[in-house]
Structure 1
C-alpha cells in the first residue's frame, strides 16, 4: 500500500493537506466551545472565601412547544443580583462557618482618571489584602487605597462615586491586587446606594455547601472556580453566546470540510478511474477495490487528522487571543486547551474522509469491468438520479429559507439566513456538474469568440469533463459565497445601525465619561445650564424576554436602555404607535423586531438586568431597534436593578456651553452628535470582529482546499497535455487554452458564489432595513474575488507550466 501511495504522491499529498487543515479548523472550533463550556471568571477578590452566596445568576422559564412538552430555557444575567444582608445571620449559624462578609462593590473614579473598585473595609479580608502602610479607615472621610493609586498615607485623594468628586484622607495602603478603595462600612453602604443589601455574602470557613444552600433557599451558593462568576458575572453572561457562536462556527466548519475534502476525494477517485477499471478487468472484486481505496484514504487521513487536531490547539488559542484583545470576549475568559478538541477533530475529519471515500467508491467498484474501462476514457454525461434529486431538495429548502427570511425580522431572519447559505452551497455541490455545463455554454462561447482555437479547446475540455469542473466550481462558489455573506452582512448591520442612530439623534451634544459612567446628578446639572432645553440620561442594560421566532417563543437576551425625562426631545427611535413620554413606572417600549404581536396597552413579561421579573405595560412600539436597542425602559427602573446607578451618557438638546458640567465631574466630556455616532459605529464594528475571524479561518481553509483541488486536477492531466503536444499544439497554445479554461471554470464558480451571496444578502438586508439593499464595500468585494480567482488561476497554470514539455514527446503513458 505504501508503494501505491508513493506512485500517487500528488493525490495523497493533496488529500493529506486538505484533511490536515480541515482537522485544524474543526478543532479550533472545539477549543472555543470547550473554553465557553468551562469558562469561569478568575477567582481573585474572593480567594479567601470558601463559598460565595449571591442572588440567581440566570433566569429560567418554560417555553410552550406546539404538540410537545414545554421546554425549559435559561439565560444568564449581566448585572449582579443582590442579596439581603440579613441572610448573613442564617449563614453564620451553619456549622463550620467562621464568619460572613457582606460584600458591596461600586466603581470609584480617581482624579487621575484611574478607575478603582470601592468596598467596605471588612471586604479586605477576602482576597486577602494586607496593609503595607498605615491603618484601616475609621471616619466617613477616610479611605485605604491600593498602591497603584499612587497616594501615600496622610495624603488626600479626590474620589468620585455617585456624585461630584470629594476629598478623602488616605489612612493606609494595601500592596497587592488591582485598584481598590476601602471605606468604612457605613460610608461604603451609603456610596453603594442599596441599604440592607449586598452584592454577595462571602463565607469564611469550611462549611458544607449543601448546608449553606439549605440555610438560604432561593439564593445561589458558589464554591471552587464558580466563585469567580460571583465576582465578575460578565464571563458567565458571555458563555451561552460564545457556545452558540462556537457551535455555529463548528457546524459551518464541518460543512465546509465535507464540501472541500469530499470534492477532493471524489476528484481523486475520478482521476484514478482507469486504474480501478484495470483492477476490475483483471478480476478484483468490488469489495477489494473499496478496501483498497478506504485503506489509502486512512493511510493519508489518519496522520493528517491527528496532526491537524494537535495544531488546532494553537489555532484555537490564537483565535481566542484575537477575540479577547478586541473586546469580543470579556477579561478573564481564559482558553481551555485540553484533549477533547483534538479527539473531536480527529474523529470528525477522519469519519468525513472515510464516508466520502466509501460513497465515491460505490460506482467505480460496482460497474462491469468493460464499462469501467469505457468510462475511464470518456466521462459519463449523466449524473446519478439520487444526486440530482438531493440537489433539487436542498435547492427547494434554500428557496424556502429565502421566503422565511424576507417575511420575518430580527433573530428569526438571521437564523433563516444561515440555513439559506448552507442549503444553496450543498445544492451547488450536488449539482456542480450541471452548473459547470451551464457556465461552459455561456462563458465558453465568450472564450471561443476571443480565441477560436484555444477557446474552442477550452470549451471542449470543459464539456468533456463536467464532473471535474463541478468539483472545482463548488469550492470557488463556497469561498465567494461564504466570505461575501459574512463580510457584507456585518457591514449591512453596521450601516443600518449607524443610519438609524443618526436619523433618530435629536441631541446637539452628548455628555460622556472616560470612566465607569456619569453620576446621576450629571443630567440634572446639564438641564440647569442656560440654553439647554432638554437633557436625557441614558443607561444601558440587558433584559431577558421571550421573543417569538418562526411561530415559537424563545428566551433571548436583548439590548435595552433606560431613558430619563425629555426622551422625546432628544431621541427619535421611529415610534409607530404610542408615546415615549409615557415611559414611567413599570412600562416599556419595544422595537417591532421583538414586539411579537404586542401592541400599546399589552402586558410584556421580562426580566431586568438583576433577574427581577416584571410585567410591564407597553406604551410604544418603534422601528429603529438597531440604533436604539430593542427595549426602552424608564431610567429609574433600570438604575434600581443594575450593578451601579451610573449613567452611560446624557443626551443634551441645545448648543450651550457644557464646560461647567464636565468640569464638575471627573472624566466627563461633551462631544457633538457626529463624534458620538462615530463611537457607536466603531462599537458595532468591534462586535462583528468574530465574523472576521470566521471569514479568515474558514475562507482561508476553503482557498487552500481550492488550490489543492485545482493543482491535483491539473496534475492528473499530464497525459492529455502530452496528447495535445503530439497532435501539433504548441506549448503556448496549450497554456492559452488553460488560461481560458480557468476563466470559464473559475468564472462559473465565482458567478455562482456571487449569486448565492447576492440572494442571501438581499434577504438579510430586507429583514434588517426593509429594503433589499445590502451595504457592500467595493474594495472588500474586489479583494474576495481577486483572492479566490487569483489563487485558483495560479493553482492551474503553475503546475501546467511544470508539466508541459518544451518539445513534443511520443510517450503518452
Structure 2
C-alpha cells in the first residue's frame, strides 16, 4: 500500500517525467493490437481471406510485416523507460537513506510501470484498432484481402488482441524496469545518492559485452541476408532489416563510448567555427556520455531504419527493372512503404520525447551557468551547437547501419554490395531528423532557461 501511494504520488507530481514512456507504451500496445486484430480477422473469417491478386493470408502478412514493428516498439519502450527511471535516481536514493529497502524501491518502480501501462492501455487499443482498420482497407484496395473482410465486432475477438498486447507490453516494461532499478538499488544508500548527482564516465563491462554480442548478432543477420538467393527477396529484406535493428541495439548499448568518440572527432571543426559555444557544448556532451547516448540513439534509430527501408526498396525496384527473373510487385512496394511509415513514426516519437526530456531535466545546469555569468543567448547558442552535434552523430551512426544493411540486401538481390541509393529520399530523412532534433532541443531549452536561475539552482534536479 505504501509503495502504491508513493508511486502514484510521484506520477502526479512529475507527469512530464513519464510522458516519454507513456507515449512509447501507448505505441507498443497500439502496434500489438494492430497485428493481433489482423490475426483475429483471419481467425474469424467464414470464407477465403485472400483477394484476387493473391497470395499469403492475413496472418502471413501480419507476421512478416509486424515482427520488425513489434521489436522496434519494444526497443523504444526499453529506451524510454530506462531513461525515465534514471531521472528518478536521486529520489530513489533518498528513499534508501530513510530506511527503504531495495525490495521496497523495486516494488515502487514496478507499481509506477504498471500504472503507466494501464493508463495507456485504452488509448493504445483505440489507436491500434483504427490503424488495423486502415491497414485492412489498404490490403483490400491492393487486392491482398477479400473485399468483404471487416474487423470483428464480437467481444472475444476484440478483447483478446488487447489482452495479449497489454500482457506483452507489461512483461517487457517490467523486465526493462527491473534491470534499471537493480542498478540503483544495488549500491549502498550513500553511494547511490552520490552517484545520482554525478555520471560515471565509463559504461560497465556487462553492458559493453552485451553491445559486442549484439554487434556480432547483427553481423550474422546481415551475413544471412546477403546469402539469400535472389528469389527470396522478402526473406533477405526481413533479415537485413532485423540485422539493422540489432546493430542499432548494439549502438544503444555501446553508445556512451561510441558517441563520445564521434563527438571528440566532430567537435574539432565545430570549435574552429564557434570557439566559445563549441568548446562548452563539446565538453558537456563528452562529460555526460549516458545523457548523450540517450539523445543520439533515437536519431540513429530514425535514420538507420528509414534509410535501410528506402535503400532496400529502391534497390529491389532497380533489380526488377534490370532482371526479368526478379519481380517487385506494386503490393510489395506498398507493404514496404506502409512499414516504413510505421517505423518512421516510432522513431520520430522516440526522438522528440527523449530529446525534450533530456533537455528539460537540465534546468538546474542552465541556472548555474547563468549564475556564473552566462547570458540566456549564450546558453541557447551552446544548446544550438549541442543540437547540431547530436544530430550529426545520430545521422552518422544511422547512416553506417543503413549502409551495412542495404549492402547485405543488395548482395542478395543483385550480387553486388553496392545498393541503389535514392539520394533525394535519403536527404529528406536527414533533413527530417534535423527538423525533429534541433527544434525539440531548442524549444525545451528555451522553456528551461526562462525559469528563475536562483530558484532552479537551489532546487533538485528537475
From 311, 315, 319, give the equivalent of 2:127. Answer: 311
**Kindly tell me: are residues 262 and 726 of structure 1, through their superposed partners in 2, closer, same or farther at Cα, counting changes over 3 Å?**
same
CA-CA distance at 1:15 after TM superposition: 2.0
Which has more radius of gyration?
Answer: 1
Matches within 5 A, 1:448-597: 448-501=271-324
Task: Report the equivalent of 1:723.
Answer: 368
Q: Does 1:8 align with 2:17?
A: no
Task: Report the equivalent of 2:343.
Answer: 698
**Kindly tell me: are residues 427 and 735 of structure 1, through their superposed partners in 2, closer, same or farther at Cα, counting changes over 3 Å?**
same
CA-CA distance at 1:331 after TM superposition: 3.3
Kept in 1, the 8 Å contact 2:215–2:246? The answer is yes
Kept in 2, the 8 Å contact 1:739–1:797? The answer is yes
Deviations 1:155-200 (A, max 9, x none): xxxxxxxxxxxxxxxxxxxxxxxxxxxxxxxxxxxxxxxxxxxxxx
Deviations 1:591-619 (A, max 9, x none): xxxxxxxxxxxxxxxxxxxxxxxxxxxxx
From 295, 303, 308, give the equivalent of 2:111. Answer: 295
Deviations 1:28-59 (A, max 9, x none): 122223324444xxxxxxxxxxxxxxxxxxxx
**What is the alpha-carbon distance in structure 1 between the residues aligned to residue 341 and residue 220 of structure 2?**
29
Q: Does 1:626 align with 2:271?
A: no
From 340, 346, 360, give the equivalent of 2:166. Answer: 346
Deviations 1:65-118 (A, max 9, x none): xxxxxxxxxxxxxxxxxxxxxxxxxxxxxxxxxxxxxxxxxxxxxxxxxxxxxx
From 366, 376, 386, give the equivalent of 2:186. Answer: 366
Kept in 2, the 8 Å contact 1:437–1:463? The answer is yes
Kept in 1, the 8 Å contact 2:32–2:128? The answer is yes
Kept in 1, the 8 Å contact 2:51–2:140? The answer is no
Q: Does 1:438 align with 2:252?
A: no
Matches within 5 A, 1:73-92: none
**What is the alpha-carbon distance in structure 2 between the residues aligned to residue 266 and residue 806 of structure 1?**
27
CA-CA distance at 1:808 after TM superposition: 4.5
Kept in 2, the 8 Å contact 1:35–1:336? The answer is yes
* Structure 1 ranges of 4+ moved more than 4 A: 232-237
CA-CA distance at 1:393 after TM superposition: 1.0
**What is the alpha-carbon distance in structure 1 between the residues aligned to residue 263 and residue 391 of structure 2?**
11
From 30, 55, 58, give the equivalent of 1:238. Answer: 55
Kept in 1, the 8 Å contact 2:259–2:289? The answer is yes
Kept in 2, the 8 Å contact 1:445–1:459? The answer is no
Kept in 2, the 8 Å contact 1:413–1:767? The answer is yes
**Kindly tell me: are residues 794 and 276 of structure 1, through their superposed partners in 2, closer, same or farther at Cα, counting changes over 3 Å?**
same
CA-CA distance at 1:325 after TM superposition: 2.1
Q: Which has the higher helix share?
A: 2
**Kindly tell me: are residues 236 and 413 of structure 1, through their superposed partners in 2, closer, same or farther at Cα, counting changes over 3 Å?**
closer
Task: Report the equivalent of 1:688.
Answer: 333
Kept in 2, the 8 Å contact 1:731–1:806? The answer is no
TM-score (normalised: structure 2): 0.90
Kept in 1, the 8 Å contact 2:202–2:256? The answer is no
Kept in 1, the 8 Å contact 2:52–2:143? The answer is no
**Kindly tell me: are residues 421 and 33 of structure 1, through their superposed partners in 2, closer, same or farther at Cα, counting changes over 3 Å?**
farther
SS in 2 for 1:771: coil
Q: Does 1:25 align with 2:36?
A: no
Kept in 2, the 8 Å contact 1:305–1:349? The answer is no
Kept in 2, the 8 Å contact 1:305–1:350? The answer is no
Task: Report the equivalent of 1:378.
Answer: 198
Kept in 2, the 8 Å contact 1:30–1:250? The answer is no
SS in 2 for 1:688: helix
What are structure 2's unaligned runs of at least 5 residues?
1-5
From 397, 400, 403, give the equivalent of 1:752. Answer: 397
Kept in 2, the 8 Å contact 1:313–1:342? The answer is no
CA-CA distance at 1:495 after TM superposition: 1.3
Task: Report the equivalent of 2:3.
Answer: none
Q: Does 1:709 align with 2:354?
A: yes
**Kindly tell me: are residues 36 and 482 of structure 1, through their superposed partners in 2, closer, same or farther at Cα, counting changes over 3 Å?**
farther
Deviations 1:415-454 (A, max 9, x none): 5324422321221222222222122212222322221211
Kept in 2, the 8 Å contact 1:260–1:706? The answer is no
**What is the alpha-carbon distance in structure 1 between the residues aligned to residue 329 and residue 53 of structure 2?**
22
Kept in 2, the 8 Å contact 1:494–1:685? The answer is no
SS in 1 for 2:265: helix
**Kindly tell me: are residues 430 and 772 of structure 1, through their superposed partners in 2, closer, same or farther at Cα, counting changes over 3 Å?**
same
CA-CA distance at 1:360 after TM superposition: 0.8
Kept in 2, the 8 Å contact 1:765–1:773? The answer is yes
Q: Which has the higher strand share?
A: 1
**What is the alpha-carbon distance in structure 2 between the residues aligned to residue 785 and residue 233 of structure 1?**
38
Kept in 1, the 8 Å contact 2:17–2:84? The answer is yes
SS in 1 for 2:281: helix
**What is the alpha-carbon distance in structure 2 between the residues aligned to residue 252 and residue 233 of structure 1?**
23
Deviations 1:200-226 (A, max 9, x none): xxxxxxxxxxxxxxxxxxxxxxxxx3x
Kept in 2, the 8 Å contact 1:439–1:745? The answer is no
TM-score (normalised: structure 1): 0.52
Deviations 1:231-255 (A, max 9, x none): x974796344x42331233322222
From 388, 410, 425, give the equivalent of 2:248. Answer: 425
From 364, 383, 389, give the equivalent of 1:738. Answer: 383
Aligned residues: 445
**What is the alpha-carbon distance in structure 2 between the residues aligned to residue 729 and residue 296 of structure 1?**
38
**What is the alpha-carbon distance in structure 1 between the residues aligned to residue 98 and residue 242 of structure 2?**
47
What are structure 1's unaligned runs of at least 5 residues?
40-224, 502-624, 628-682
Kept in 2, the 8 Å contact 1:309–1:343? The answer is no
Kept in 1, the 8 Å contact 2:221–2:242? The answer is yes
Deviations 1:129-175 (A, max 9, x none): xxxxxxxxxxxxxxxxxxxxxxxxxxxxxxxxxxxxxxxxxxxxxxx
